[in-house]
Structure 1
Amino acid sequence: MSEAMLTPAVGEVPSVMAEDRARAALVGALQRPRYEVLPLAATADQVQEHVPTHIPITVTASPRRGIEPTLALAETLAGLGFAVVPHLAARLFADESQLAETLHRLDEAGVRNAFVVGGDSELPVGDFPDAVTLLAAMQRLRSDSGRGHCLDQVGIAGYPEGHPLVSDEKLSESLAEKQSLATYVVTQMCFDPKVVSRWVSQVRRIGVRLPVYVGVAGKIDSRKLMEVSARIGIGGSARFLRKHRHAWARLLLPGAYRPDRLVRELVSELAEPSRGVVGLHVYTLGAVASTERWRQQALDRLTGDGDR
């Protein structure tokens, strides 16, 4: 990562103070990003080997495998000293009893943060068709002294490029509805910083004041990244890349994708407190080691001593 990462955004008055603020924001974001990992057999060993314990680890949920692998990995990583954030996918829960049992397990493991999504299952297995119904049930359980839980933080999803199955209007309504039941928002992976910036402005206009973690891809094999992007419906980013053929060409070279440019162009969001963009959420997509190497190298270039 070069000094160019500190170039002020268009329209920003260049100054030593602005550059210092940008550098500080960038260093802070790289020192403590959130890493999202997959609930696979090898993940715990990969995280333990490559990632320092001060990096929060979020664990996704698979519609094919159910919630158990997510919980098991969360318990393992918590036992290794990581701050863990399991994904609680609403459509994978049968009923409130299963939810209460899950929250109790997380309490026992010392987990204090969870991320609630509707989930990718076509049909719910039980009583919770979407995130808001699960969040409401969690709120009821928290109010119930006999079955309360100790989660301090609850995250919800934001979609800067929309959702293939949900209208933008409905997404905005849903985000506003969930605001009182959550403490922060994580955005879906996006490659276009202008889209992210417009989305942040939009949600602030409708009164959503929750802090935002911006979702970016880690240091991932380019072809795998394209496959994942197509699967989760990152349409705007695909259109952005089509308009910039040089970006497509670079991205399709084996191992060519790096998060540097996107992170650089997000500096103006990270450096402006009024925007409420508080950090990076890095989708590792199985590439834990290469993503952590990239982070350390980026910090080395900015601070001279990495994250040590």
Structure 2
Amino acid sequence: MRNKIRPSVLKALLSGARYEVLPTTGAVDKVLESVAPGRTITVTASAAKGLEATIDVAEVLSRNGYHAVPHLAARMIRDAHELRDISDRLAAAGIDSIFVPAGDATPPAGDFAASLDLLRCLAELDHPFRQIGIAGYPESHPFIADDVVSQALVDKRDYATNIVSNLCFDPKLVTGWLDRLRSAGTGTPVLIGMPGPIERHKLLTMATKIGLGDSAKFLAKNRRLFTRILAPGGYGPERFISGLAPALNSERARVQGLHLYTFNQIAETEHWRRNWLDRLAAVTT
């Protein structure tokens, strides 16, 4: 059973999978057309579009019955006053969950150069957030040394309620990372970050919609993504999840759910998820 995911575990993961979307024009309509209210939708932050676009999309999704999780990129926020204003605005919209990455804004807009800076400031405020997510890296961060990344997770564990793993296409690397995380004493639950079924030409189109500067960064940071999609027998979401069986069947790994990077291919991702759930139901009935 260690090498095969228990059907009940797989069903729970697929049923509760959350989607990450980019705050582009039409993103909300795509969610409304394809995803039932009540699901969790996270909204990325783009230095090109500004944090206002992220918050606007999150507010609309929340009003329409979704559990919206905006990304509050630390380097895009000026200071504690702006952070308080954002927190109050999100609370007024009924949003009680956020994700806090450092972000790519260079130089930082103000006082927060790293996500830990913002998390510490947030802890001093009477914030409304029930869940606060941070990023984890199963593979080496492209710009930060491994020991620095590992220490940052330890430093942030008292502020975060979950860790979302960054893009990785090797399930063995993910399971190894989870084991190291738990051995280091970090017990924070993890959401496994992974792409759903992605069409290359649509991914390229989406990259150009992020903004010229962000598009270049996106393509540079995700070069491996394009390579895997193009390669014969490359990345497949079901194969990836199946390879995570040892971790998904383990209570020690504390995998809380799936975080699907949709790149705004929302209808395709939802169709794939529902199809797999239907196949599971057919086998178990």
Over 3 Å counting, the alpha-carbon distance change for 1:191 and 1:180 in structure 2 is: same
Q: Secondary structure at the match of 1:64?
A: coil
Task: Tell me the equivalent position of 2:180.
Answer: 202
- Work out whether 1:211 is the aligned partner of 2:195: no
**Cα distance between partner residues in 2 of 1:184 and 1:210:** 6
- What is the CA-CA distance between 1:122 and the residue it aligns to? 2.4
The residue aligned with 1:71 is 55
Aligned length: 272
Shift of 1:214: 0.5
Distance 1:229 1:24 in 2: 36
Distance 2:19 2:221 in 1: 18
Q: Does 1:293 align with 2:282?
A: no
Structure 1 residue 250 displacement after superposition: 3.7
- Secondary structure of the residue aligned to 1:36 is strand
- Match of 1:87? 71
**Partner secondary structure for residue 72 of structure 2:** strand
Aligned 8 A contact 1:164 1:233 in 2: no
TM-score, length-normalised on structure 1? 0.83
Quick one: distance in 2 between partners of 1:132 and 1:122? 17
Q: Decide which moves more: 84-93 or 214-223.
A: 214-223
* 1:183 equivalenced with 2:172 (yes/no): no
* Partner of residue 249, structure 1: 232
1:173 & 1:206 partners in 2: Cα distance? 10
Q: Provide, for residues 196-231 of structure 1, a one-character-per-residue CA deviation record: whole Å limited to 9, x for no partner.
A: 001101111111110000001012113566989853
Report what 2:146 is aligned to.
168
| 1:232, distance to aligned residue in structure 2 (A) | 2.2
Q: Deviations over 1:120-172 (max 9, x none)?
A: 1222011100100000010011xxxxxx2211010000011121110000000
**SS of match in other structure, 1:214:** strand
- Give the 5 Å matches for 1:275-286: 275-286=253-264
More moved, 179-188 vs 259-268: 259-268
Q: CA deviation at 1:283?
A: 0.1
1:34 to 18, 22, 39: 18
SS in 1 for 2:71: strand
Match of 1:13 in 2: none
Give the structure 2 partner of residue 231 of structure 1. 220
1:222 equivalent to 2:211? Answer no
Which residue of the other structure, out of 133, 137, 149, is the alignment partner of 1:155? 133
1:127 to 91, 104, 111: 111
Aligned to 1:48: 32
Contact 2:19 2:259 in 1 (8 A): yes
Question: Structure 1: any 5+ residue segments left out of the alignment?
Answer: 1-6, 10-18, 142-147, 252-256
Contact 2:192 2:258 in 1 (8 A): yes
Shift in Å, 1:40: 1.1
Which amino acid in the other structure matches residue 262 of structure 2? T
Partners of 2:2 and 2:249 within 8 A in 1: no
Rg comparison, structure with higher value = 1
Q: 2:211 corresponds to which residue? A: none
In structure 2, C-alpha distance between the alignment counterparts of 1:238 and 1:196, rounded to whole Å: 19
Residue 248 of structure 1 aligns with an amino acid whose one-letter code is: A
Superposed CA offset, 1:229-248 (max 9, x none):
8532576x789x5xxxx981
Counterparts of 2:137 and 2:75, CA distance in 1: 19
Tell me the distance in 2 between the aligned counterparts of 1:229 and 1:94.
Answer: 24
* Cα distance, 1:190 vs structure 2: 1.1
Cα RMSD after superposing both structures = 2.3
Deviation string for 1:232-291 (max 9, x for gaps)? 2576x789x5xxxx981244xxxxx64111112123322221211111100000100000
Q: Which runs of 4+ in 1 moved over 3 A?
A: 222-230
SS in structure 2 at match of 1:176 = helix
Q: Which amino acid aligns with 2:78?
A: A
Displacement of 1:117: 0.6
